[in-house]
Structure 1
């Protein structure tokens, strides 16, 4: 196959694209895979690190509200579509797979111009503009959870890194806790907020730390690189600027407190890790919707950002980590929604779109 994957911008777009690229190569080692991105996104670093070709096009940010940028949008779109079409012709692409964001819209329009099939993958519970447009051009639409409002939607899940998709938390727990310098038997909370950290989560964890430690628990805390100097390790508390081995962090933990990005929700469900979700209070509210299927199934709790106080967090964490039966039930409920084979299922959809 000759495939162009349009998944630039944030990790929520780039990581599923890379997981799909790896699944394509597993299915067809001779496949030619190119990722489409811009010079502004994380793909500039992540794609070459994983050994894939990156083709850059002009960024086309989509304004959320009326502004002067909206007036310039048609010119920017035309320029990006022209350059994307050149990439598709040069690589003799058979199919475009889009993951939303400002790289996907030019890719969908260019694929229409060149006359090749489109596959759309929507990770969020509330589809963005690019995928709402792209889904009109194809019957091959994959979604992360049932009920996402797109035509022809098939519930596939979110393609995940193999280290996460294949993780056996129980089998890896001893190795994971040793890796982070945690005690092997103490119940463990893993707090994180993405690569930059999350201010509200950081404040609640650090200010509510003493009751959790006094109850006999330990904490692994990804604080974000900019916040690393503001916290100090102490017995039972391991702060890190960033966690490179998320698989081991999930294996080390009995409970997580985190934001509710689509990738985070998909990974926690796949590995069966109960969580307290604190949706980011910005954007179009998609993070709350991302977490709701797991919460409604009993696999997690949801607290609004403004209501996450140190006392609330300490009380809930102490109650949960002290109740192993409840944690086990939550983990089972979360795992019932997890999809570990989403990457392979999406490749099947790509094969179908190309007629293979």
Structure 2
């Protein structure tokens, strides 16, 4: 959707149709952003030998036909894919119809659909130069303008007031992603007294459905603000000096783009994919990395608090994080797509 918004800004007459499935949040998020949505059957790839795996070729064929029908109906000139259940049928339908294919891979470890499609096209873009895909060019991840263009210092006072934080003093933002993270919630809340004693304010975004108990402090103590969810993250980023969070691809991209240093706690699943997402910015010195199993109140007290209370170190880490980020990936990708369309039109003529 961030890419689609950028394409529309560059070419207001462009007709954009989103292809999705009933799985995930496609039917909720895409119409809310104002784009027409066409649904095709999802084709998950079973990881074990089973009846479901044996049925996959037939299901894929059916989904490719559905995708091809959509491409015909909307008179598609290019297919832009980001991986996932919907991507494979779309790539195969586009190849069959001779349409240019543009791929973007956000994760450090590409999925099956993008690995296959990278053999079909030379228009391949990734979030990081560490991603191994044929013909790949690293451009970052398309971000919302509210994030990509965020001036944290200019918005800081208003953002802190928005959350009931003080104008001065370090602020730690805590989040486990949209659904929260029990391990992060427990570790930081367990260190609440130590954080307050060292003058650290906390903006703790728990995730819906999570309850975090924080001992009451003295009114003179730095605020420890607990909220379930933030729908405009630019304000949380502007209020904070440092973050502790999971290391999903979008989280890493957004924090680097706005220059917010972080302690990343990779989700200990998915084959270590989240660790790979965080490693580039960690290597620059713009972030810390801590294993989920090692995260506890003692780590917050002995390792994180000395960083939070060192303004010079935070400033240096912020600069290094910012240098590792990319704020214009949405526009870069949109320009490549428009070029691919122009080349096709020129060839057709």
Asked if TM exceeds 0.5, the reply is yes
Q: Is the 1:123–1:143 contact (alpha carbons within 8 Å) kept by the matching residues of 2?
A: yes
Task: Tell me the secondary structure at the aligned position of residue 221 of structure 1.
Answer: strand
Q: Is the 1:156–1:342 contact (alpha carbons within 8 Å) kept by the matching residues of 2?
A: yes
In 2: Cα distance, 1:302 partner to 1:310 partner: 16
Q: Deviation per CA, 1:200-248, whole angstroms, max 9, x where unpaired?
A: 11111111211011111111111111114x4469561111111111101
The aligned residue for residue 191 of structure 1 is 174
Correspondence 1:343 to 2:326 = no
1:288 to 275, 279, 282: 275
In 2: Cα distance, 1:62 partner to 1:247 partner: 36
2:30 to 41, 47, 53: 47
The aligned residue for residue 334 of structure 1 is 321
Task: Tell me the secondary structure at the aligned position of residue 83 of structure 2.
Answer: coil
Q: Deviation per CA, 1:231-282, whole angstroms, max 9, x where unpaired?
A: 4695611111111111010010000000111100000110000000000111
Correspondence 1:179 to 2:162 = yes
The aligned residue for residue 68 of structure 1 is 51
Q: Is the 2:192–2:214 contact (alpha carbons within 8 Å) kept by the matching residues of 1?
A: no
The aligned residue for residue 319 of structure 1 is 306
Correspondence 1:36 to 2:8 = no
Distance 1:65 1:260, change over 3 A: farther
Q: Number of residues paired by the alignment?
A: 338
Q: How many Å apart are 1:316 and its aligned residue?
A: 2.3
Structure 1 unmatched runs, 5+ = 1-17
Task: Tell me the secondary structure at the aligned position of residue 88 of structure 1.
Answer: helix
Q: Is the 1:89–1:114 contact (alpha carbons within 8 Å) kept by the matching residues of 2?
A: no
**Following superposition of structure 1 onto structure 2, how do residues 202-281 of structure 1 map, counting pairs within 5 Å?**
202-228=185-211, 230-231=212-213, 236-281=223-268
Q: Is the 1:212–1:317 contact (alpha carbons within 8 Å) kept by the matching residues of 2?
A: no
Distance 1:269 1:207, change over 3 A: same
In 1: Cα distance, 2:43 partner to 2:317 partner: 41
RMSD, aligned CA:
1.3
The aligned residue for residue 12 of structure 1 is none
Q: How many Å apart are 1:317 and its aligned residue?
A: 2.5
In 1: Cα distance, 2:326 partner to 2:158 partner: 24
Task: Tell me the secondary structure at the aligned position of residue 226 of structure 2.
Answer: strand
In 1: Cα distance, 2:132 partner to 2:23 partner: 29
In 1: Cα distance, 2:253 partner to 2:156 partner: 20
**Following superposition of structure 1 onto structure 2, how do residues 117-128 of structure 1 map, counting pairs within 5 Å?**
117-128=100-111
Greater shift, 59-68 or 288-297, is seen at 59-68
Structure 2 unmatched runs, 5+ = 218-222, 344-349
In 1: Cα distance, 2:141 partner to 2:155 partner: 23
The aligned residue for residue 79 of structure 1 is 62
Task: Tell me the secondary structure at the aligned position of residue 168 of structure 2.
Answer: coil
The aligned residue for residue 157 of structure 1 is 140
The aligned residue for residue 9 of structure 1 is none
Larger radius of gyration: 2
In 1: Cα distance, 2:267 partner to 2:192 partner: 22
Q: How many Å apart are 1:43 and its aligned residue?
A: 1.7
In 2: Cα distance, 1:66 partner to 1:219 partner: 48
Task: Tell me the secondary structure at the aligned position of residue 285 of structure 1.
Answer: helix
Q: Is the 1:233–1:239 contact (alpha carbons within 8 Å) kept by the matching residues of 2?
A: no
Distance 1:248 1:75, change over 3 A: same
In 2: Cα distance, 1:355 partner to 1:87 partner: 21
